[in-house]
Amino acid sequence: MDGISNQPYTPDLRGFIEYLDKEHPEEIVRITKEVDPEYGVSGILHRLEKEGHFKAVIFENVKGSVYPLVANMHGSFTRLRYAIGMEEGDEKAFLTEFAARESHPIEPVMVEEGPVQEVVKMGDEIDVEEFPICTYHELDAGKFITAGLALMRDPDTGIDNIGIYRHQVHSKNELGVQLSETADGNVIWKKYEERGEPCPIAIVIGHHPAFFLGSLSYTPIDSNELHLAGGILQRAVPLVPCKTIPLDVPADAEMVIECVIRPKERRAEAPFGEFPGTYGPERMNPVLDIKAITHRKNPLYQNAFVGHADNLLLSGVIRSTAIEETVKIACGTVTGVHMPRSGRFRFVCYIAINRKIEGEAKAAAMAAFVTDPFLKFVVVVDHDVDITSDTEVMHAIATRVRADRDTFMIPYAKGSPLDPASYDPAGGSHLVTKMGIDATRKDNYPAEIHVPGNEDINLADFIDGYTKP
């Protein structure tokens, strides 16, 4: 696919909203009535989800803020597909296109100025609480920024990294952060911490969903997510230097919170309703000092609804491109990789292979575990099994697995500290046990039942007025 995603609309958040308004108005809804940022916004999002709506929602009037809130932008696969300019296509087609763009990253370009710095606030002008930052679930410790794309620079390599790590608001100029052990961001922060130096971190808020997808692309620590975001957007991301910290940020974002992480200091952060659908425990987490807030003249504040479709789809569906790459090294006969919704797009992975020799399935499962620390269950099936169907995969497990022979476990392995089944969920342990399951047909597998000739029968020839159910 050539050209910029979603031409002629600008490749930023407001451009994508304009595109939805004009081309797919059913994808977006505006709420003008005043809504409380404490449980009010999340209440509406939750009800919409329960009633089967996964629209993007713009809250135009959030109590206590003059700025609009853009929510649930990544809550449907269709919008993720639209984000990369695909009007049609299933998950496999989306992932094929996504993988092709991932393998053609585009370097960002420095520009003199950008809308993200139309307004610059420093010193006493800094008050992050003027934005419509929400409290989501009952036991959350407070307000959380949930869709901040945090940009940090590796002090050894100079390579920029981006991830979303949610931030509790401690005060008008202090934030917390959850830098899980599964993230590159954790490794980078620890490098500064070991040197006793403050770690610069720029929290980018409000951007095109293709920028989000590129930023959350699941790639090695030495690949620069700004280049990947460029690849996914099919356009070099324009960058401007921050005002107070040595980092460069997307010129066309809605806002940036320029911060440093204080060395050695910790403060209690969370509980917070997390992606597995349980509360992440209170942890002693780092503290961020806000040095400046820059934004457009009329910024759109954006959030993500963690623990719901919005959070799960984004950075969930796209993890399989990286897994497939590694699995292909271990097992050349791989025909597909799928992260099922039932595994919250993180914990479970189905792999289809065209098994030629014994041992291949286990090799494929091991490769998946090596790639993605979130994975806890990897199921490998034959290529004729539809891996987008939980029922078909369960059928393969039910009929083709002898547990003592076909499963293996990896105890004390690196996983998510938010995993409710970790070794110490209350303490936020990142150690988990993983299980690989070879659900392929083994040698001497009995023949499967089949009625000869049934494929050629036309039922309407035998039953008057027959139609398919």
Ligand X SMILES: Cc1cc2nc3c(=O)[nH]c(=O)nc-3n(C[C@H](O)[C@H](O)[C@H](O)COP(=O)(O)O)c2cc1C
Residue 216 binds ligand X (CB under 6 A): yes
The total of other beta-carbon atoms located within 10 Å of residue 46's CB is 16
Residue 73 binds ligand X (CB under 6 A): no
Q: Which is nearer to Mn ion, 82 or 189 (CB)?
A: 189
Find the residue with minimal CB distance to ligand X. 163
- Considering only residues 146 through 175, tell me which ones interact with ligand X, judged by CB under 6 A: 146-147, 161, 163-166
The total of other beta-carbon atoms located within 10 Å of residue 288's CB is 24
- Contact call for residues 193 and 185 (beta carbons, < 8 A): no
Residue 285 binds ligand X (CB under 6 A): no
Which of Mn ion, ligand X, none is residue 183 near (CB under 5 to 8 Å by kind)? ligand X
Asked whether the bond before 8 is cis by omega within 30 degrees of 0, the reply is yes
The site for Mn ion (CB under 5 A) is made up of 161, 184
Piece in contact with ligand X (CB under 6 A), picked from 103-111, 306-314, 365-373, 456-464: 306-314
**Residue written as token pair 């393969």:** 396
Residue 439 binds ligand X (CB under 6 A): no
Which of ligand X, Mn ion, none is residue 300 near (CB under 5 to 8 Å by kind)? none
The total of other beta-carbon atoms located within 10 Å of residue 328's CB is 14
Find the residue with minimal CB distance to Mn ion. 184
Which of ligand X, Mn ion, none is residue 436 near (CB under 5 to 8 Å by kind)? none
Nearest-approach distance from CB 188 to ligand X, in angstroms: 8
Cα dist from 461 to 42, 152, 385, 452, whole Å: 54, 67, 31, 18
Nearest-approach distance from CB 183 to Mn ion, in angstroms: 7
Closest among 210, 171, 398 to 288, alpha carbons compared: 171
Residue 463: Cβ-neighbour burial (10 angstroms; 0-12, 13-18, 19+): exposed
Residue 347 binds ligand X (CB under 6 A): no
- Which tokens in the block code for residue 266? 């910790």
Buried-exposed string 29-45: b where 16+ CB fall within 10 A, e elsewhere: eebeeebebbbbbbebb
Residue 207 binds ligand X (CB under 6 A): no
Nearest-approach distance from CB 146 to ligand X, in angstroms: 5
The total of other beta-carbon atoms located within 10 Å of residue 115's CB is 19
Q: Which is nearer to ligand X, 180 or 294 (CB)?
A: 180
For Cα atoms 34, 40, 44, give the angle at the middle one, nearest 5 degrees: 100
Which of ligand X, Mn ion, none is residue 322 near (CB under 5 to 8 Å by kind)? none
Sequence-distant (6+) residues with CB within 8 A of 246 are: 153, 200
Residue 364 binds ligand X (CB under 6 A): no
Residue 136 binds ligand X (CB under 6 A): no
Given 185, 209, 271, 373, the residue binding ligand X (CB under 6 A):
185
Nearest-approach distance from CB 372 to ligand X, in angstroms: 9
Residue 300 binds ligand X (CB under 6 A): no
Residue 288 binds ligand X (CB under 6 A): no
Sequence-distant (6+) residues with CB within 8 A of 425 are: 278, 281, 419
Nearest-approach distance from CB 413 to ligand X, in angstroms: 17
Nearest-approach distance from CB 221 to Mn ion, in angstroms: 6
- For ligand X, the binding residues (CB under 6 A) are 146-147, 161, 163-166, 178-180, 183-185, 216, 218, 304, 306, 311, 314-315
